[in-house]
Amino acid sequence: MKILLIDRRFVIALAAALLGGAIAAATTGAKTEAGDDAGGPEGGPAGSLAGAIPRAVAPHPQEVRFRSLTMLTDGHENAEAYFSRDGRRLVYQSNRPPYGCDQIYVMPAAGGESALVSTGLGRTTCSYFAGPDDRYILYASTHLHDHACPPPPDMSEGYVWQLQPYDIVRLDTHTGELKILTDNPSYDAEPTVSPDGRTIVFTSLRDGDLDIYTMDLDGGSLRRLTHGVGYDGGPFFSPDGTRIVFRASRPEGEALAAYRELLARGKVRPGRLEIYVMNADGSDQRRVTDLGCASFAPFFHPSGRQIIFSSNYPDPRGREFDLWLVNADGTGLEQVTFTAEFDGFPMFSPDGARLVFASNRHNRRPGETNIFVAEWGD
pLDDT in tens, 352-366: 999 999 999 999 999
Range with the poorest average pLDDT among 22-31, 78-87, 161-170, 251-260: 22-31
Q: According to the model, what pLDDT value does residue 157 have?
A: 84
> Stretch 216-234: mean pLDDT, rounded?
97
Q: What is the pLDDT of residues 321-338, one digit of tens each?
A: 999 999 999 999 999 999
Task: Give the pLDDT band (50/70/90) at residue 48.
Answer: very low
Q: Quick check: 22 pLDDT over 80?
A: no
Q: According to the model, what pLDDT value does residue 47 have?
A: 37
Q: According to the model, what pLDDT value does residue 62 have?
A: 98
Residue 6's contacts (CB-CB under 8 Å, 6 or more residues apart) are 119, 171, 176, 177, 178
Domain of residue 85, residue span: 3-376
Q: According to the model, what pLDDT value does residue 52 have?
A: 87
| 347 CB-contact burial (10 Å; exposed 0-12 / middle 13-18 / buried 19+) | buried
Q: According to the model, what pLDDT value does residue 271 have?
A: 86
Full-model pTM: 0.88
Q: Quick check: 188 pLDDT over 90?
A: yes
Task: Give the pLDDT band (50/70/90) at residue 152.
Answer: confident
Q: According to the model, what pLDDT value does residue 180 have?
A: 97
Measured torsion, CA atoms of residues 315, 318, 322, 328, in degrees rounded to the nearest 10:
50
Q: According to the model, what pLDDT value does residue 158 have?
A: 84
Task: Give the pLDDT band (50/70/90) at residue 51.
Answer: low
Q: Quick check: 8 pLDDT over 70?
A: no
Q: Indicate the DSSP class of residue 151.
A: P
Q: According to the model, what pLDDT value does residue 4 have?
A: 53
Q: Quick check: 89 pLDDT over 60?
A: yes
- Residue 152 CB neighbour total at 10 angstroms: 8
3-state SS, residue 28:
helix
CA angle, residues 195, 197, 200, in degrees to nearest 5: 95
> Stretch 177-184: mean pLDDT, rounded?
95
Q: Quick check: 46 pLDDT over 90?
A: no
pLDDT: which is higher, 73 or 31 = 73
Q: Quick check: 275 pLDDT over 70?
A: yes
CATH of the domain at 160: 2.120.10.30
How far apart are the C-alpha atoms of 177 and 125, rounded to whole Å? 19
Total structural domains within the chain: 1
How many secondary structure helices (H) and strands (E) does the chain include?
3, 30
Q: Quick check: 11 pLDDT over 60?
A: no
User: What average pLDDT does the chain have?
Assistant: 88
Percent of the chain with pLDDT over 90: 81
Q: Quick check: 115 pLDDT over 80?
A: yes
Sign of the CA dihedral with 352 first, then 72, 79, and 148 last: negative
